[in-house]
Chain A
């Protein structure tokens, strides 16, 4: 896959380039937004990784320019050193597929990159059965097997669970989830979605120790993330 990385920080671009190269992707590095946009006029990339804060044209401006052009569907990851939830929502609202807060965690970063690239090759046939880790889905019988034990889910719950699993590591907005699963139904409310997420979380025991966790993206939506990506990292950061 051809990836473009935009960041004014050399240390960051080097790390990203190394991680992508290790995963077998081709990577080009840009240090100025203008250069990247010019390049996009004549070249094609499969994925853009853009830093938010840059002198001159900011990452958000680059993102908006790209989205307004012919690359409306190009997967774009935002990298930011801002830790505020508001900034995250702003980036997602501006059209980014995902965001990653610096410092980069290699495993998390690669999981996100793969998720974004997977989305690029969408149009997967509708599956009737699938399995992730300890979870096996059987859509026609509305059953999910966890650790070999069958759990009964409602149609809406299984649709929601499948959507989260199929979009592993991707942030899904509330409105996207509501529209995909409930359509224009009047009961499609934020509360309904929260209640369903809460139910599949407890029914399927979607907890960190089972390998997957449901992450709320505040003011935006939800993301399902495999725990092993995090577990691989030695966390030195402390909460207090």
Chain B
């Protein structure tokens, strides 16, 4: 199985240190700190950008579009109170060519006065005196009426570099009229008129708009009517703009022809109680403007504009633009709201939230305009919302990309598991990033391949499964093991199927497998668990299950190993059989020989009986020594704490009869302090017995053998000293090799050599080394030898 069907990374069995996990999480928190910094930066940039736009180039066009739309959707009703007396084409053709003699105007004012007009706004300029008779008649009429507001005009820019030129009515007329007001109309940049300058300053005078003065006259607000006070000579010519809520397109307000009124052809009740605006509508005369209500071609006469405005003033529904700061706040508020949500909420929610915010801004502007008569331009807020997404997206992407590049670079600089040539990083940043990414992905793929090949090269069947117990990877050996037992591929199968396939009989599931699987499911399995089982075909399997974890040590899945230990077990059995042969089958006949000699020994010559007995004992000893050595080198090993002094005394007691027979005194010298060691007491006692036995064997009669025990802080030392013939220096090194015996003393016959196969000291060495100790020997020929054992001292339990 070389293919990995799922892109699953394998973590090495030894999980990485927790320090690395801490490093990863530390980097993440660093990243999130960076993100907060970026967030503040984006917020500041967005805020500054919006303020900048509001100061430098507010999105007036877009706002106007919205404004016109809302206004057209919801026009207020035109009140019947306002009436226009139009200087139209018919009037011109009946009265004569413009300009008319001023007594015509005087007559009209008289006619209107007689009919009972409430107030009259005269949107006709009388800038300079004309024929004195006409002027006198008009002045007289104006004075008689007392309800006429005359128009003045402010020319911007003024002549000869002056900021503005004020063109008031002729002084006589101005004095006679009740009030005057400017009729200057400034269209917006798109050429559409939406508002009126309530006040205009020019040449040191401040003029109220004619409609304002007219409305004040109607409402009787005499304070407002008082002539404007000259202010400081500020070059200001427009302030306090109001917006006109147009009631409809041109022609919405009723019009009377000038000549009809002049000739008295209009009934007085049509005029009575109405506010009259007199102005030009005739083609080619007077000023005409585009309005939000008009289409692209249609225009509105200035007098109609004033009619709309006067009506709105009288019915109290004129529209006020909000102050700049309020507008700025209104534009910034959704930005901040959106930034907050970007920091805390997910990207999907944020997209919807942005759309909702845009609609909300639109809706608020609409409601404010239609109901509260306040104009909140929404475009800047909408632009700001639109600005946030790319800005924040860019910063986040940049942050993520920088983090990725840094990580990839670090990954690249780390020593790789697989030896590999690295490409040289060159080109622009994007190209480098691609190279880095490409290498990282290739590394992961190669590593995956490497893992799959490594698993396949394992001699044991290995199966990797996820936490749910589904097989994710199975190596070749696993495929082979289960090929005959489970039809089909192993991948994707539940692990329990595999265990079940090993059972003798499907009706009798192995309780250990059931227990193991249950523990795996409950995730309570100790790190290395398993059991050994014998399959129906005689195969011995050792099953081990361990989980593997991610860098944070969270378990990711299970690795199950099915090791075929049939041969191992077979060789173990062979060894056991061989040892049993030695311990029993070879000993038994020897024991029988000795039994026969014991029972029937008197039937043979005593010398012969003694020799037979010695040979039988020798064979027995050989078998025993061999078994002991085998056990000491590889057999089972009991570990218990005990006092080594006791073991030495046991050994001395054991050999006392032998020593006594040779009249050798064994002096034992053990300390008061406990010589505590951990190990196999039987093996160590036998080791000491062997040393003392040797000492007796190689000593002459009536000598001394000393068995001393000493303790140091870390060691327990046993010394066996004899007064024997000693060992030649060249033999000392070979003493502990198996099958080595000391040569018989000079001149003695070969048979005089001490019996034994020479396994005793090899046994001593094997035992002591298994107890992490060491054997020492010092000897002086003719004087005696000292054999020592050094074992690590354990802390006594007392």
Contacts and interface: CB of A to CB of B under 8 A. Distances in A.
A18 B645 CA distance: 40
B591 interface: yes
Interface string A1-41: 00000000101101100100000000000000000000000
B595 A11 contact: yes
B755 A238 contact: yes
A238 B613 contact: no
Interface string B8-41: 0000000000000000000000000000000000
Contacts of B627: 83-84
B754 A231 contact: no
Contacts of A198: 643, 645-646
Contact of A53 (B584, B625, B646, B692): B584
Contact of B583 (A11, A82, A233): A82
Contacts of A236: 613-614, 617
Interface residues on B, range: 35 or more
Contacts of B592: 9, 11-12
A235 B661 contact: yes
Interface stretch (A124-132, A141-149, A151-159, A205-213): A205-213
A104 interface: yes
A112 to B, nearest CB: 16
A230 B760 CA distance: 22
A16 B696 CA distance: 32
Contact of A102 (B587, B653, B760): B587
A85 interface: yes
Given A82-B584, A239-B689, A207 B649 contact: yes
B596 interface: yes
A240 B693 contact: yes
18 contacts: A11-B593, A11-B596, A14-B596, A15-B599, A53-B588, A81-B591, A104-B598, A198-B645, A201-B649, A207-B649, A227-B657, A236-B617, A238-B618, A239-B690, A239-B692, A239-B694, A240-B690, A240-B759
B655 A81 contact: no
Contacts of A43: none
Contacts of B681: 216, 218
B536 interface: no
A12 B591 contact: yes
A215 B621 CA distance: 21
Given A231-B657, A240-B694, A240-B760, A102 B614 contact: no
B697 interface: yes
A65 interface: no
Given A198-B643, A207-B652, A237-B617, 12 more contacts: A15-B599, A53-B588, A103-B594, A191-B641, A201-B646, A208-B653, A214-B653, A219-B638, A219-B682, A239-B692, A239-B694, A239-B696
Contacts of A213: 653-654, 656
B650 interface: yes
Contacts of A239: 655, 689-690, 692-694, 696-697, 756, 760
| 9 shortest interchain CB distances as A-B pairs | A239-B693, A240-B760, A208-B656, A102-B591, A103-B594, A11-B592, A15-B595, A213-B653, A218-B682
A227 B681 CA distance: 22
A104 B612 CA distance: 16
A84 B583 contact: yes
A64 interface: no
B453 interface: no
A240 B761 contact: yes
Interface string A55-85: 0000000000000000000000000011111
Interface in B672-713: 681-682, 685, 689-690, 692-694, 696-697
B754 A238 contact: yes
Nearest to A53: B584
Interface string A82-105: 111110000000000000001110
B620 A237 contact: yes
B754 A106 contact: no
A231 B658 CA distance: 8
Interface string B615-653: 011101100110100010000101001110110011011
B660 interface: yes
Contacts of A106: 598
A204 to B, nearest CB: 13
B797 interface: yes
A230 B689 CA distance: 16
Contact of A194 (B599, B646, B654, B656): B646
Contacts of A240: 625, 690, 693-694, 697, 754, 756, 758-761
A191 B620 contact: no
A235 to B, nearest CB: 5
A24 B328 CA distance: 127
A53 B642 CA distance: 33
**Majority SS of interface residues in chain B?**
helix
A31 B661 CA distance: 38
Contact of B797 (A14, A191, A235): A191
Interface string B377-403: 000000000000000000000000000
A113 to B, nearest CB: 15
B151 to A, nearest CB: 120
B255 interface: no
B185 interface: no
B692 A15 contact: no
Contacts of B761: 240
Nearest to B592: A11
Contacts of B617: 103, 236-238
A192 B692 CA distance: 29
Contacts of A85: 682
Interface in B740-798: 754-756, 758-761, 797
B658 A194 contact: no
A102 B588 contact: yes
A230 B658 CA distance: 10
A100 B583 CA distance: 15
Given A11-B595, A83-B587, A235-B658, A103 B653 contact: no
A207 B596 contact: no
Given A102-B591, A103-B594, A104-B598, A208 B756 contact: no
A17 to B, nearest CB: 9
B601 to A, nearest CB: 10
A52 to B, nearest CB: 8
A15 B598 contact: yes
B101 interface: no
Given A12-B595, A198-B646, A81 B587 contact: yes
Nearest to A18: B599
Given A14-B595, A103-B620, A231 B690 contact: no
A194 B642 contact: yes
Nearest to B599: A15
Contacts of B692: 239
B250 interface: no
Given A83-B583, A102-B587, A103-B594, A209 B797 contact: no
B590 interface: yes
Contacts of A83: 583, 587, 624, 627
Contacts of B656: 207-209, 213, 227
Given A85-B682, A236-B613, A9 B646 contact: no
A194 B638 CA distance: 17
A172 B316 CA distance: 120
Contacts of B660: 209, 231
B657 A238 contact: no
Nearest to A212: B653
Contacts of A208: 652-653, 656-657
Contacts of A201: 646, 649
**Residue of B591, B681, B759 most packed against chain A (CB within 10 A):** B591
Contacts of B658: 235
Contacts of A216: 646, 650, 681, 685
Contacts of B621: 237-238
A83 B646 CA distance: 22
Nearest to B681: A218
Nearest to A208: B656
